[in-house]
Chain A
Amino acid sequence: MIAALIAGFARVLTGGSVRWVEDPSPGRQRVYFANHTSHADFVAIWAALPPEQRRRTRPVAAAEYWKRNALRRYLAKRVFRAVLIDRGNGGTTAGVDAAESASRRGREAIEQMVSVLREGESLIIFPEGTRGDGVETAPFKSGLYHLAVAAAEAELIPVRLENLNRVLPKGELIPVPVVARLTFGAPISLAAGETRDALLERARESVVTLRHTQGPPAR
């Protein structure tokens, strides 16, 4: 109920300009991966999914943001059913310790996501790891590769988000109703013998090259 309301509100607010390059094949499990420019990103993707898929799709989000107050905890847990990942930005340890604990947290995060996939649910992830400026797409972190290896049956679907950084830029509270564009691309998968870096770069390219098609300039 609340989920449907929020999804409807998000679609109205962002103008819901959604394009699927390929019709979504029913029943397949997916990992949607997108460029990251705004806190509104996963809500927009989640709201754009057909309702029956939305119910089986969980966004991956930063615990430190979504655990900060009761409302966010409620939304993250009950409405979005977010998979909250501890990015651990508040650590005070330095050097080797920090690097070690970061890689340990990375492994834990992957395990969390893989176990969600094992339960048959889909994921929304942002492999850049952090929000960019909306122009450049940063190199992808390795999580996507690990998911591709651990859950080979899931389709990896690139999603290109445009204008969401204008709807709700970093550090702002009130969204502006600029029309946002979402483009869902054709699924990619790990090729035989493909290295980690090759897959990550190919995945990144697939997001970068997905631009919403504009009409021809003449009327």
Chain B
Amino acid sequence: MSALSDPVYQQLLGGVFGALAFGTVVGQLLKRRARSDSARATVANMNQRIGAWWVMCAVFGVALLTGGLGSIALFALLSLLALRELITLIESSRADHRALVIAFFIVTPAQYVLVATQWYGLFAILIPVYVFLLIPAVLAIIGDTNDFLRRTAMIQWALMICVYAVSHAPALLLLDIPGYSGREALLLFFLALVVQLSDVLQYVWGKLLGRHPIAPRVSPNKTWEGFVGGAVCATLAGTALYWATPFSPVEAAAMSLTIVVVGFLGGLVMAAIKRDRGVKDYGALIPGHGGVLDRIDSLTFAAPVFFHLTRYFF
């Protein structure tokens, strides 16, 4: 693939791994300086997260370099893992089984086949229209009416978040932007970078300065100080990347800020679900981070919004 020889990719991936190397060094320095038990635990968790970031960035980098299919396959896998985490947390009843078989093994692959075949018309309505009608129909045929609407809504909601929303990230590859063809994967990189950088920087600013929780009953760790610090820094980082995108610097700043704010709301919503179910994480697949859904919670909200703004304006 020619992406490897594209200097833009080289610079971006070089920048990411440079930042990771910097983080790794800082983590090791902090490890030596940590005195109290709680500080040591925080640093240990941070270093575990940085270690996982190396793996995640490597996987994402390889997927990007393969061009379309690799990215689509990666996000299809993320959707399946996220869907399993969310469905596990929801109390599905035995009568839901066949609807879940359809959700996992038919709807999810179908949505990504539509991305791969660039069938935008059906991609946009498969889950919100056809699956929306199919799931309650299947549950009605199965015949258990207990909690019928609640069960229907939970399965539909899980599919919307974990499959429909997430699939908008690789769908960026099928946008046709004048003067930008062949570089659509950079949009996916831009989205992922701003979303994840925003999460990381909100965490860092929150740890350093966080005092005033935004929604204490949902997540005591999300503070105004963390949010503002992270939002400003991630927006600046996104703006600085304008040269790799079809956006002007001002447009890149507006897009970044939108991604950051919407992503924050996604993180808050997904935290509310965890709080309601009485769990700390969606899973334990990613050391230090929790489950897949803990890592892509902001992305689930940011991806469709970024996709449609880009599609509409560019």
Contacts and interface: CB of A to CB of B under 8 A. Distances in A.
A179 interface: yes
Given A174-B101, A178-B92, A215 B281 contact: yes
A179 B291 CA distance: 12
Interface string B50-93: 00000000000000000000000000000010001101100010
Interface stretch (A45-53, A62-70, A165-173, A188-196): A165-173
B97 A172 contact: yes
Interface string B228-263: 000000000000000000000000000000000000
| Contact residues of A: prevailing secondary structure | loop
B105 A15 contact: no
A163 interface: yes
B94 A15 contact: no
Contacts of B279: 214-215, 217
Contacts of A15: 84, 88, 283
A139 interface: no
Nearest to A216: B280
A147 B280 CA distance: 41
A41 to B, nearest CB: 15
Nearest to A165: B94
B97 A169 contact: yes
A176 interface: yes
A177 interface: yes
Interface in B243-296: 271, 274-275, 278-281, 283-284
B100 interface: yes
A205 B219 CA distance: 36
B280 A166 contact: no
Contacts of A133: 94
A115 interface: no
Nearest to B276: A217
B104 interface: yes
Interface string A180-216: 0000000000000000000000000000000000111
Nearest to B283: A179
B94 A177 contact: no
A151 to B, nearest CB: 36
B221 interface: yes
Contact of A218 (B88, B94, B101, B220): B220
11 contacts: A133-B94, A170-B94, A176-B97, A179-B84, A179-B88, A215-B281, A218-B220, A218-B275, A218-B280, A219-B271, A219-B281
